[in-house]
Amino acid sequence: MATTVQNFNWPVRVYVEDTDFGGVVFYANYLKYFERARTELLRAAGVSQQTLLDEHRVIFVVTNVSVDYLAPARMDDDLIVTAVVDKLGRASVQFTQEVWRQSTLLVKAHISVACVAVDTMRPKAIPAAIMEKLRGAA
User: 8-13 and 92-101: which strand pairing?
Assistant: unpaired
Helix segments in 45-114, DSSP class H: 49-51
The b/e string for 110-132 (b: 16+ C-beta within 10 A; e otherwise) is: ebbbbbbeeeeeebbebbeebbe
CB-based contacts of 21, cutoff 8 Å, min separation 6: none
Choosing from 20, 54, 68, 86, the catalytic residue is 20
Q: 20 an active-site residue?
A: yes
Tell me the residue ranges of DSSP E strands in 89-129. 92-101, 104-117
- The residues assigned a catalytic role are 20
